[in-house]
Structure 1
Amino acid sequence: MIEIKNVGKSFQGKEVLMDISTTFEKGKTNMIIGASGTGKSVLLKTIVGLFSPDKGAVLYDGRDFHKSTVKEQKIIRGEIGMLFQGSALFDSLTVAENVRFPLNIHSDLSESEKDDKVNFYLKRVGLENAAHKMPSEISGGMQKRVGIARAIVMNSQYLFCDEPNSGLDPQTAWMIDQLIHEITQEYNLTTVVVSHDMNSVMEIGEYIMFMYQGLKIWEGTKDEILDAEPKELQDFLFSNKLVRTFKGI
């Protein structure tokens, strides 16, 4: 579980996050949605420690990340997996070497133990036959699956996904959504997905937080979102063709 308590963040006197509080529960696909420039990415970077909040706290299962010692922060970071918007694979490394990279940096496992873990997680994402390929030799969807395997290879407790469907066709995007959802439940992860893709929201959004101009405007489930009252959220929703289809408009 991750608890966000009254987090605020400003840059050059401009408030970007204003008194954000929420809880991301373990075993659920938690989503942060909103238009571009609403503070989604800043909140994500604050949660994972790339930014320090000006006020408030970020708690990982009760551990206050920003008030922890460097050693304690390192332990928490070792429990975090990240799936980046562009997959962020190393072009000069094979698929297997990309997944192995965190193990080389952060673990004391033997070489054979690392091999076993890499093979296990590549099989879990359906890429056991692509281990020796280079990133340039596989599709965008396969690259995202490599990114997921790399994000969880350290037995991560927390999985963060930044626009995981960016640049993917609808069928591949659906497959990535389902994989994220399955892995979240299978490994009981606390998963946080930043997205503006309403297809993803309606498919896997178990908890959804809507942000507008640095504020948390609404929170709820995918079953509640279509009838949510805030005008800002309705404007965001009805600009989306999928939502208009759901509503029969």
Structure 2
Amino acid sequence: MIEIHNIHKSFNGKKVLDGISGVFETGKTNLLLGASGTGKSVLLKCIVGLIKPDIGSVTFDGTYFTNNKLDIRQEIRRKIGMLFQSSALFDSMTVEQNVEFPLKMLTDMRKDERLDRVNFCLNRVGLEGSNTKMPSELSGGMKKRVGIARAIAPNTTYLFCDEPNSGLDPLTAIKIDELIKEITEEYNITTIVVTHDMNSVIEIGDKIMFLYEGKKLWEGTREDIMDSNVEELNEFIFANRLMRDAKKIEEEEEAQEHRQHPQA
């Protein structure tokens, strides 16, 4: 579990995060939702320690991370896996070498142990036998899978995904969403996904935090997000015509049910 407490951050006098608090639960896909420029990525960087908040703190499973001793912060960082928006694979390394990289940097595993772990992770993401391929030989979806394999290789406790569906076709995006959710539940990881994709919300949004102009305006699940009374959230959700049509159908079905069973 990750907890954030009253996070504030400004750049050059401009407030980007304005007192955000919340809890990200273990074994669930926790989504940071909002339009571009609402502070999602800045909040993610504050949580993982790439940016220091002006005010506020972050705890990982009860251990303070912000402003703690360097050795404690480093120990927490060893448990963090990152899936970057562009996958961020090393172009000059093979798939195997990319996945092995954090094991070489963060563990004292022997070469044979590292390769066993690499093969296990590649198999888990559906890329068995792709060890010798170069990133230039991979599709966008395959690159994301390699990125996920690399992120979980060091027995990750906390997984952070920054716009994991960026640049993918809808079908591949759904498969990546499903893979992230499966791995989160299977290994009981605390996963935080930055997204503006409503498909991801509907598919994997166990818990959702909606940010607007640096503030947390709403928090809930994919089951109750359609019934929010937060104007800014509704404008974001129903900007898509398909979502507006789905909401209209839902309202019509509820009205019909009420007419048929007025006392229910």
**CA spacing shift, 1:117–1:242, aligned 2, 3 Å:** farther
Contact 1:198 1:242 in 2 (8 A): no
Distance 2:141 2:211 in 1: 28
Q: Alignment partner of 1:31: what SS?
A: strand
In 2, Cα distance between equivalents of 1:245 and 1:112: 55
Write the mapping of 1:88-127 to structure 2, written as runs, cut at 5 A: 88-127=88-127
Secondary structure of 1:98 counterpart: helix
Matches within 5 A, 1:81-160: 81-160=81-160
For residues 199-245 of structure 1, the C-alpha deviation after alignment (integer angstroms, 9 at most, x for no partner) is: 01000000000000000000000011011011110111111234224
Q: Deviations over 1:124-183 (max 9, x none)?
A: 001012111001111110000000000000001000000000000011001000000000
2:28 is equivalent to residue 15 of structure 1: no
1:82 partner amino acid: M
Counting only pairs closer than 5 Å after superposition, residues 1-249 of structure 1 correspond to structure 2 as 1-248=1-248
Amino acid at match of 1:105: M
Gaps of 5+ in 1: none
Supply the AA of the counterpart residue of 2:39: G
Alpha-carbon distance in structure 2 between the residues aligned to 1:248 and 1:93: 50
Q: Give the TM-score normalised by the residue count of structure 2.
A: 0.93
What one-letter code is carried by the residue in structure 2 that aligns with 1:65? F
SS at match of 1:222: coil
Retained in 2: the 8 A contact 1:83–1:147?
Answer: yes
Q: Distance in 2 between matches of 1:46 and 1:82?
A: 14
User: What is the SS of the residue equivalent to 2:194?
Assistant: strand
Moved over 6 A (4+): none
3-state DSSP class of the match of 2:108?
Answer: coil
Deviation at 1:67, TM superposition (A): 2.1
Aligned residues: 249
> Contact 1:19/1:215 (CA < 8 Å) preserved in 2?
yes
Q: In the aligned structure 2, how far is the partner of 1:64 from the partner of 1:16?
A: 23
The one-letter code of the counterpart of 2:246 is F
Name the CA distance, whole Å, in 1 between partners of 2:135 and 2:241: 33
Cα-to-partner distance string for 1:85-138 (whole Å, 9 max, x where unaligned): 000000000001000000111110000100110010000001012111001111
1 CA distance for matches of 2:36 and 2:170? 21
Query: Per the alignment, in what secondary structure is the counterpart of residue 129 of structure 2?
Result: helix
The whole-number CA distance in structure 2 between the counterparts of 1:90 and 1:158 is 22
Once the two structures are aligned, what percentage of the paired residues are identical?
62
User: 8 Å contact 1:210–1:216 — kept in the other structure?
Assistant: yes
Highest Rg: 1 or 2?
2
Q: Which runs of 5+ in 2 are unaligned?
A: 250-264
